[in-house]
Amino acid sequence: MKKRIVSGITATGNLTLGNYIGSIKNLVIKQNEYDIFMFVADLHGITLPIDPNELRENVRKQLATFIACGIDVNKTKLFKQSDIQGHTEMFYYLTTISNEGQLKRMTQFKDKLIKNNNKTEQIPLGLLVYPILMAGDILLYNAEGVIVGLDQKQHLELTRDLAIKLNSKYNLNFKIPEPIISSFGSKIMALKTPTKKMSKSDSDLNETIFLLDDPKVAKEKIMTSLTDSENKVYYDKDKKPGISNLLTILSVIKGITIEECVNEFKNSNYKEFKKSVAEAVAELLETIQKKYYSLTDEDIQNALDKNRNKIQQEASLNLEKVMKGFGMR
């Protein structure tokens, strides 16, 4: 039996090169080997206020982008989170075995709290409990592994913790899911501030490469990204965060090691090196966009319909187990 993997991306903003390298690319590579359940997390998308039309548009764009990046619905079970009944119910059962302390320790929550001047009363409760919804997404399919970038590791630890509690308290046998985080590219950094994560919600658009950026604009973003004054290409994350980030991006896109990349550019200046990175990124975006713009609404609907019943069956099966465990059945 193939190992089962779950992965999701929140339906806020446009997908970035960070999402591609940290998550989508790995799912595309692993779809031959694993039984993958991949979804657009629209329920996670309403954690913070969002215009309903924008949310709908984000969901459509993300699904099309996944397919354009190489997600194949003949291999991967692709879906929209809210289409499958059970995510919010699984979430509720898990809240009963979670505690506030654990949730308040989540780095992502603490970051948002700081941005909100530490005023907890004004933070939507959804933001605090969001990691439980994520744990529910994973346990609903009884996954063995979860493909994510480094920023989601802490949420995975909570999921594992909840799975262990669920099993021991209610005599169940859910798998304890392992995080699958690639050793390179699991944290792509912002272009102008390479000490922070590249993010789809960054207010400065020049920090981020979006997969639907005009390739010329993307090239410009790479050419003007922040580096250092040494003008020598080598990998040192602490001393040279900008160059190291570009090396990571290039090595992942080209499918070569950092050493091979460094070797290729050891006699180049930054301008030459950046030009090569810019070209590789632009080429990747062109390939993705060519497919993206050829997809129709019907193609996307067909992709969603393809495995809907199988996905729902699996979700219902696991939800029933939990309901039985809790005494509802």
Q: Residues 18, 145, 215, 242: which binds ligand TYM (CB under 6 A)?
A: 18
* Known active-site residue 153: no
For residue 137, state whether it binds ligand TYM (rule: CB under 6 A).
yes
Going by the DSSP 8-state scheme, the letter that residue 307 receives in this structure is: T
**Which ranges of 117-240 would DSSP assign to H, the alpha helix?**
125-139, 153-170, 215-223
Q: Find the helix or strand (DSSP H, E) in which 38 lies.
A: strand 35-41
* Residue of the chain from 76, 142, 152, 227 that contacts ligand TYM (CB under 6 A): 152
C-alpha distances out from residue 193 to 189, 190, 198, 204, 321, Å: 8, 5, 9, 10, 47
Residue 182 or 312 having the CB closest to ligand TYM: 182
CA distance 245 to 227: 9
Tokens 């590791």 correspond to 153
Q: CA-CA distance, 31 to 72, in Å (whole number)? A: 8
197 an active-site residue?
A: yes
**Binding residue for ligand TYM (CB under 6 A) from 7, 142, 248, 307?**
7
Q: Does residue 162 touch ligand TYM according to CB under 6 A?
A: no
One of 3, 75, 175, 200 is an active-site residue; which one?
Answer: 200
Residue 9 makes contact with ligand TYM by CB under 6 A? yes
Distance CA 235, CA 43 (A): 39
CB of 259 to ligand TYM, least distance (A): 21
Active-site residue 324, yes or no? Answer: no
Measured distance CA(235)–CA(248) in Å, rounded: 9
Q: Is 186 in the site for ligand TYM (CB under 6 A)?
A: yes
Residues in contact with ligand TYM, counted by CB under 6 A, come to a total of 25
Is 188 a binding residue for ligand TYM by CB under 6 A? The answer is yes
Closest contact distance (angstroms) between CB of 14 and ligand TYM is 11
Closest separation in Å from C-beta 136 to ligand TYM? 8
- Conformation bin of residue 197: beta by default, left when phi > 0, alpha when psi is -120 to 50: beta
Give the C-alpha separation, 70 to 64, whole Å: 10
Decide if residue 139 touches ligand TYM (CB under 6 A).
no
Q: Contact at 8 Å (CB) between 147 and 23?
A: yes
User: Residues 198 to 257: which contact ligand TYM by CB under 6 A?
Assistant: 198
Of the residues 14, 19, 76, 318, which one makes contact with ligand TYM according to CB under 6 A: 19
The 3-state DSSP class for residue 198 equals: coil
**Catalytic-role residue among 25, 187, 197, 219:** 197
Restricting to residues 39-78, name those near ligand TYM by CB under 6 A: 41, 44
Q: Which residue is nearest to ligand TYM (CB)?
A: 22
> Among the residues of 49-175, which ranges form H helices?
52-69, 87-95, 100-104, 107-115, 125-139, 153-170
Catalytic residues: 112, 197, 200
Residues in touch with ligand TYM (CB under 6 A): 6-10, 18-19, 21-23, 41, 44, 134, 137-138, 146, 148-149, 151-152, 186-188, 197-198
